[in-house]
């Protein structure tokens, strides 16, 4: 069973086909993410307890790039993600836990080289202030697993005026046709 088959959202498993996997990652990256997974920490009701996964468990379930971005708050190079140029209808989910974060209707071309969105799904993200570049920036994470997604800026389009600048490696794409 792939990691996506193990993931649960509110007790409902989210399963993706091979086509969805290849959209978010090169084939070799997808293979690395689905082989030899460790068992997940679960709660009494059988759902995954994302807060109790160890660093080793995260390393097992994520590729090196995903781990660096999602767990160590790294940034992928601009223009490196095929999701930046993906305009298919569907949902963008966290690559760490498959929580739906954005819809294709919320996506726009920011010209930055990273997938960008003007809004997020309700309850999907949490923010904190990041001082890594000395100037404070608003960083956002997946609300369920805490995986780093990117930064939010005040230079986006209407109706919010915001730009959620996301690392593509921190996302997987679920086409609407597979929902």
Is 21 labeled as catalytic in the residue annotation?
no
What does DSSP assign to residue 42?
B
Decide the pairing of beta strands 137-142 and 163-166. Answer: unpaired
Handedness of CA 175, 177, 178, 179 (dihedral sign): positive
Of 21, 97, 142, 165, the catalytic one is 165
Compute the CA torsion angle 3, 33, 66, 162 (nearest 10 deg). Answer: -50
Q: What percentage of the chain's residues is helix, strand, coil (to nearest 5)?
A: 25, 25, 45
Q: Given CA atoms 44, 49, 52, 58 in this order, what sign does their dihedral have?
A: positive
SS3 179: coil
Q: CA 124 to CA 157: how far, in whole Å? A: 20
Catalytic residues: 165
């Amino acid at each position: 069973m792939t990691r996506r088959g193990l993931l649960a959202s509110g007790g409902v498993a989210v399963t993706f086909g091979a086509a969805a996997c290849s959209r978010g990652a090169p084939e070799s990256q997808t293979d690395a993410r689905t082989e030899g997974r460790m068992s997940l920490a679960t709660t009494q009701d059988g759902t995954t307890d994302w807060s109790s996964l160890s660093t080793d468990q995260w390393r097992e379930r994520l590729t090196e790039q995903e781990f660096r971005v999602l767990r160590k708050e790294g940034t992928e190079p601009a223009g490196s993600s095929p999701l930046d140029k993906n305009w298919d209808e569907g949902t963008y989910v966290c690559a760490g836990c498959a929580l739906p974060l954005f819809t294709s209707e919320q996506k726009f071309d920011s010209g930055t080289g990273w997938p960008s969105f003007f809004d997020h799904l309700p309850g999907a993200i949490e923010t904190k202030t990041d001082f890594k570049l000395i100037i404070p920036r608003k960083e956002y994470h997946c609300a369920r697993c805490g995986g780093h997604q990117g930064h939010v800026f005040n230079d986006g389009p209407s109706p919010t005026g915001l730009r959620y600048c996301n690392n593509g490696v921190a996302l997987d794409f679920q086409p609407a046709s597979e929902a």
